Amino acid sequence: MEQNQIARRMDFIAPFYVMDLLARAKELEAEGRSIIHMEVGEPDFDTPQLIIDEAKKGLDLGFTGYTPAAGIPPLREKIRDHYRNTFDVEVKASRIMITPGSSGALQLVMGVLVNPGESVLMTDPGYPCNKHFVAAVNGVAKPLPVGPDTAYQLSAELIEKHWDDTTRAAMVATPSNPTGTLLSKQELSDIYDVVRGKGGMLIVDEIYQGLVYGRKPFSALSVTDNIIVINSFSKYFTMTGWRLGWLVAPEHYIEAIDRLAQNIFISSTASSQFAALKAFDPECIEVLEKRREEFCKRRDFLLPALSELGFKFPVVPEGAFYLYGDCSELTDDSFSFAYDLLEQEGVAITPGKDFGSNKHEHHVRFAYTTEIDMMQEAVARIRRFLGK
């Protein structure tokens, strides 16, 4: 054995390329340059005061110890009520596991589902870590190139075509990162039928649930109980740094998921769990819904403005806070394009490379996690950068 050996799985686990770009952006800022940040997948809104106050209350009450690995029962019950009240779905609290972010949920799910060598189908482009959660347990991520024809989503046909003997699961995200597109109930139902027909598991990432514009959001759990759903307090509830998410799984898997969580996490952060009890309060939801409306206004500003500059959006993104622009008429190298745009004009966006290898050189992601007046300035800078 070689002393400095690094495990082979690390060959399949890429860094976030945008981190280097972010580091450069911060250097430029330190030099006094004005940088407009549209690269980060994090809401610019603070966590609602109600939630912060509750965290402080929890700390004062000494709520600082280990909790059950599955999360504190009242929070699991709040989430059950949330499914009932918001999405008209009945989900037993016992099927809901609180996790250290949706990252924790994805670790548990891959750990319990995927044997070494087994594969998981997913979209390319997609959230980069999805591949890596599979690689971490020595599974094989199979990103399938998707484009405008399927709204950048997996379809029943694609899954049917690419499923093989090694395939254990298919994973979809609605709304999706980086494309912001949605699956309809019918599409999800068709996908579910194929996956279950193959004897596999469907994993539905609903991390951006609630951040949907012009459509009524639903949960995949209204299609069937027999899937695994991943969710998060990070995006809609603007609690990124609290590291709190959840999953819903069929009863059959809960014991194993709980056992794995006990062992690899012990529990999620206690004060975050206590604070999240307030996240579903009507007063809090009112704040969050105003923010959703603001995100919608931002999309409605940014989409036509970028289209006018030559970025193409063949499918209108109806969720999350991202625009995944086809920049093929502007560059054949989106990576250099993003760096040049940062250096020359101080606008930070994410090159397609972070989301896969499917035409990544012709795509960039804009996060509309900054105010409209800043985005107006960003658009003016990009226009100048393009010489238009």
Return the residues of window 8-27 that contact a second copy according to CB under 8 A. Answer: 8-10, 13-16, 19
CB-neighbour burial class of residue 30 (10 A; exposed 0-12, middle 13-18, buried 19+) = exposed
Tokens of 129: 């870590």
**Smallest separation (angstroms) from a second copy to the CB of 146:** 22
Decide whether 1 or 30 has the Cβ nearer to a second copy: 1
Identify the CA nearest to 321 among candidates 206, 241, 208: 208
Q: Which of 78, 95, 168, 278 binds a second copy (CB under 8 A)?
A: 168
Longest dimension (CA), the chain: 59
What would the two tokens of residue 248 be? 């819903």
Q: Which of residues 198-227 bind a second copy (CB under 8 A)?
A: 198-201
Please provide the DSSP assignment of 43-74 as one string.
Answer: -SSPPPHHHHHHHHHHHHTT--S---TT--HH
Q: In the numeric block, which tokens belong to residue 335?
A: 């990576």
Residue 260 interacting with a second copy (CB under 8 A): yes
Q: How far is the CB of 37 from a second copy (least distance, A)?
A: 12
Quick one: which of 11, 90, 38, 58 has its CA closest to 371?
Answer: 38
Q: Which lies closer to a second copy via its Cβ, residue 44 or residue 318? A: 44
**Site residues (CB under 8 A) for a second copy, limited to 28-87:** 40, 42, 46-47, 52, 55-56, 59-60, 62-67
> Taking CB under 8 A as the rule, does residue 370 contact a second copy?
no
Sign of CA dihedral 233, 236, 242, 243: positive
- The answer to whether residue 93 forms part of the interface with a second copy (CB under 8 A) is no
How far apart (Å, rounded) are the C-alpha atoms in residues 283 and 280? Answer: 8
Judged by CB under 8 A, the stretch of 105-113, 173-181, 349-357, 373-381 that binds a second copy is: 105-113
- Whole-angstrom distance, CA of residue 242 vs CA of residue 234: 8
Count of chain residues binding a second copy (CB under 8 A): 79
For residues 253 and 337, which CB has a smaller minimum distance to a second copy in the complex?
Answer: 253
Q: Which of 21, 35, 107, 178 binds a second copy (CB under 8 A)?
A: 107
Pick the binder of a second copy from 87, 213, 253, 368 (CB under 8 A). 253
Could you give the string, one character per residue 110-139, with x where binding to a second copy holds by CB under 8 A and - elsewhere?
-xxxxxx-x---------xx--xx--xxx-
